[in-house]
Structure 1
Amino acid sequence: MNDPQDGSTELDRTVTRRAVYPVFQPVISLRSGRVAGYEALARGPAGSELRNPAELFAQAQRAGRLTELDWVARAAACRAALAAGLPWDIPLFVNVEPATMGTDCPPGLAETIETANRELQVVMEITERSLSDDPAALLTSVARVRGRSNRIALDDVGVNPASLSLLALLSPEIIKLDRHIVQGRPTHETAQVVNAVLAESERTGAIILAEGIETERHLAAAISMGATLGQGWLLGRPGPLPGQFERPDTDLPYSTAPDSGARTPFEVARRQRRATRATKRQLIPLSNHLESMSEHAPEATVLLGAFQDASYFTEHTRHRYQAIADKGALTAAFGRGISAQPAPGIRGGSLSADDPLTAEWSVIVLGSYFSGGLFARQLPTSARCREADREFDVIISYDRSLVAEAARTLLSRLAPIS
């Protein structure tokens, strides 16, 4: 309600006065039953409709104050954890809006945040839904966070199965299965999510955390899905931090996505593989084969194509990419003169004339199970050749980490979604 005396809304007063406080839900080791960490959950003023976090953040989103509220909630969680003497070896999970990760901390909160980064083991928890919204901005923000030694937890995994193929680009240390996966009946969609998460965990060592464990049946289901950590009312309800802490018997992994410093997909591949020589005529069927792997995959995939120039992104290719984008997780095309949306559902990355990527032809397919990439760099002498005889140095790889690193060099060229 509006206050007739100052004209501000309850939300404005809550954010301006920073009247947000945290409660903490324990994260439990499913093997030992011991506390493995705490997740901070924001609450608004008691007795207000804003006490409900969903309503609090929804109103902030509508009012354009989501970023400020997110910083206020994060600082409140850090302040309470520091005051309670939470030791460094017990992780503190803090929910963060992806849009906030790349913004400056508001005045008066920075000291608390920086102290927490030094003295606490902070795990930045972001939602799966953010993966496909703006992957370029998210990956940039995650790299900045990891530079401060923060870990990443991906929340709500399973809400949007199409995002599973983007896991390799983010490389989270903790993957949190959404409660509907844990509590629901086994289905084909559930099996798809669980198998994709298990595959990512096996490849990277990421820990699986199951949410929504409220009954013994939920607990058994979580364990069967490979979860080693869990949260839920059966294991512990949100409340204040305890007066004493016991060292956990579970250490969280710390991973960094490979970064060779290369600026283009071919540079990534060349540092690990030897190139061969091929003409454009020889490369076209290889490129089409990779694109067909994305088109006919049983899951949503990432498809990225670098075409040197928009003239090579032909009408036929545009239609094929658009069909893939209709069921894909992320489809993007790069080249000189390519628009921000060259076709419905396709993201465009326009290249400057001096971008080294303008000399390259790349096709990258990344899914939960399949990954493959064609990385080609045109020879300078090809400028005098007929179109079909243009020559390239070529590398083809199905190494997942190489393909994912190459994909990140392309995604960094996508303009943020306004």
Structure 2
Amino acid sequence: MAPKNWSAGRDMRDDPATLILRVLDERAVFPLYQPIVDLTTRNIVGVEALARGPAGSPLEFPDALFAAATRAGVMPLLDQLCATRAMEIARDAEQEVPPLLFFNAEPAALNHPFTPELLAVALSERPYRAVLEFTERALADHPAALLDIAAAVQRTDGALALDDVGADPLSLAFLPLIEPEVIKLDMHLLRDPYATGTIATAAIVSAHAERTGAVVLAEGIETEDDAATARALGARWGQGWLFGRPGGLGALAGRPIDHYARLRSPRPNLHLPDGTPFSTAAVRNHSRVGDQTMIDGLIDHLLSLAASAGPHAVVLGAYPEPAVGRAWLPRLASLGDEVALVGVAGPGPIAAAPHPVRVAVTPADAETVLAVVGPHTAAALCVRPGAGDGVDFVLTHEPDLVHAISRMLMRRLDSAAERLDPLAAGR
């Protein structure tokens, strides 16, 4: 509940642009918590923190709260304040707290370092493990920053959840690159469980969860029929009004809590692999020697593979000189309607990228790299100059290697933006 003096001596109809600054100054965010349960036992395994502004004010509900922050240019500060308050209140609660606390991150906040307050609570001793949720918008808008934040979360013993999976092709496309601990199925899947898209999404998610040990969670469960459908679609955990509406942590009193609910252990080095694509690929594969004609043929093969990989595929590349980049662009553009994302990085000058290819101008690098990642596809070609007229190359189809190489390429897509280590920035 809001402080008693929030409305004292003022008109609650004040301009939201003025109110949002007071919200930040007074840290006037009051999260509600919605239970997340094990669908088999119905025991509570966690809670999701949902932001609320001061009760009775124009900024009480999240749509108005975040809209005002966006207009005032303070969205990153508000987003981090919401996370901080959610974690502080749960940490300091007198009552029993479930072992997992989920909270959301807005894409606009991902390029900013942690505030000192958020860093302090993230590094403090807590009775729960924090789970950062993000959507495909974060993946599309800030791929490099997202990887930085993901690594920082893992270094603070946190976990990652990918939200609204199935609502956009990008969410499935990035599953193998982010490897979240929790995959949250969008609620529309429960409403139309027999649709072709729903069946395909559930199959892709189940296969990924089986390979990585991720937990599948269904959102929007309102009835027992919804709960049964969620389990049929592969969900192990569930969230929705059937199990409880958002409220204070006190509303959980007396309900059974599964204190043994666990997620996969943190992997701090997963999202920021060391080395170069070629050196990474060569660790488990002997490099070969070929000529440019052979490399051109292998590139054609990978681009053909990408065209048949489906709408949930990602194609990423790095070119060593502008002429190569310009030659690639038309071929990459032709994949735009076939896959979820196409991105390349390399030195300029280069022509404006045809939609929807994302091009990042980066310092020259001797390596040529092309990677294709999809739900059922993993292939990467890494090339570097060899002796004489030859080239050294590695072609790998090992998923873990291809995903690591793709993460390296993803980080280059935001090369023009300043990337900050949230942990280092808060010291």
TM-score over 0.5 for the pair:
yes
C-alpha contact 1:157 1:175 (8 A) present in aligned 2: yes
Amino acid paired to 1:151: A
Query: Is the CA contact 2:326–2:350 (under 8 Å) kept in the aligned structure 1?
Result: no
Identify if the C-alpha distance between structure 1 residues 5 and 195 changes in structure 2 by more than 3 Å, giving closer, same or farther. Answer: closer
Amino acid at match of 1:313: G
Higher RCO by CA contacts (8 Å cutoff, separation 6 or greater): 2
Tell me which residue corresponds to 1:346: 357
What's the TM-score, normalizing by structure 1?
A: 0.88
Aligned to 1:186: 194
Find the counterpart in structure 2 of residue 370 from structure 1. Answer: 377
> Which string of whole-angstrom CA distances, capped at 9 and with x for unpartnered residues, describes residues 364-392 of structure 1?
1011111111122211423xxxxxxxx22
Deviation at 1:193, TM superposition (A): 1.7
Tell me: CA distance 1:182–1:339, structure 2 relative to 1, closer, same or farther (3 Å).
farther
Q: Distance in 1 between matches of 2:17 and 2:404?
A: 48
SS across alignment from 2:174: helix
In structure 1, distance between residues paired with 2:326 and 2:78: 46
Cα deviation, residue 359, structure 1? 2.1
TM-score by length of 2: 0.86
Alignment of 1:17-96 (within 5 A): 17-85=26-94, 90-96=99-105
1:14-413 mapped onto 2 (5 Å cutoff): 14-85=23-94, 90-106=99-115, 110-115=119-124, 118-241=126-249, 242-243=252-253, 246-256=257-267, 258=270, 261-315=273-327, 317-337=328-348, 339=350, 341-353=352-364, 358-382=365-389, 391-413=390-412
The CA RMSD over aligned residues, in Å, is: 2.7
Aligned length: 404
- In structure 2, relative to structure 1, the CA distance for the partners of 1:8 and 1:365 (3 Å cut) is closer
Quick check: 68-77 or 89-98, which moved more?
89-98
* Equivalent-residue separation in structure 2 for 1:348 and 1:17 (angstroms): 42
CA distance 1:172–1:108, change in 2 (3 Å):
closer
Q: 1:335: how far off?
A: 2.5
Specify the code of the residue in structure 2 equivalent to 1:252.
Answer: L
Q: Which residue identity is paired with 1:310?
A: P
Q: In 1, are the aligned partners of 2:36 and 2:44 still within 8 Å (CA)? A: yes
Amino acid at match of 2:162: L
Shift of 1:119: 4.8
Distance across 2 between alignment mates of 1:221 and 1:338: 53
Counterpart of 1:20, as a letter, is V
Q: CA deviation at 1:332?
A: 1.6
1:293-344 deviation digits (Å, cap 9, x = unpaired): 11233323211122211112344x3212112124432212222225595332
**Deviation of 1:259 (Å):** 6.8
User: How far does residue 255 in structure 1 lie from its aligned partner after superposition?
Assistant: 4.6
In structure 2, what residue type is equivalent to 1:396?
A: L
Deviations 1:125-182 (A, max 9, x none): 1123211222112112211221111101111111112331111111100000111112
Distance 1:373 1:88, change over 3 A: farther
Instruction: Could you tell me which runs of 5 or more consecutive residues in structure 2 were left unpaired when the two chains were aligned.
Output: 1-9, 418-427
Deviation at 1:415, TM superposition (A): 2.6
Q: Distance in 1 between matches of 2:263 and 2:315?
A: 32
Question: What is the CA deviation profile of residues 16-55 of structure 1, one whole-angstrom value per residue up to 9, with x for unaligned ones?
Answer: 3222101111110011111111111111121234222122
Kindly provide the amino acid, as one letter, of the partner of residue 17 in structure 1: E
Residue in 2 that maps onto 1:385 = none
CA 1:5/1:229 → structure 2, altered by over 3 Å: closer, same or farther? closer
Contact 2:271 2:407 survives alignment (8 Å): no
Q: After TM superposition, give the deviation of residue 219 of structure 1 in Å.
A: 0.7
- The 8 Å contact of residues 88 and 121 in structure 1, kept in 2 or not, is answered as no
Query: Which AA in structure 2 matches 1:402?
Result: L
Instruction: From the superposition, tell whether residues 417 and 329 of structure 1 become closer, same or farther in structure 2 (CA, over 3 Å).
Output: farther
Secondary structure class of the residue paired with 2:124: helix
CA distance in structure 1 between the partners assigned to 2:16 and 2:219 by the alignment: 40
**CA distance in 2: counterparts of 1:243 and 1:360, whole angstroms:** 58
Structure 1 consecutive aligned stretches of length 4 or more whose deviation exceeds 6 Å: 1-7, 86-89
The residue type equivalent to 1:270 in the other structure is A
CA distance 1:232–1:416, shift in 2 (3 Å): farther
Structure 2 CA distance for aligned equivalents of residues 6 and 369 of structure 1:
51
Structure 1 regions of 5+ residues with no counterpart? Answer: 383-390
CA contact (8 A) 2:36 2:48 kept: yes
Deviation (angstroms), 1:252 = 1.5
Q: Is the 8 A contact 2:17 2:69 kept in 1?
A: no
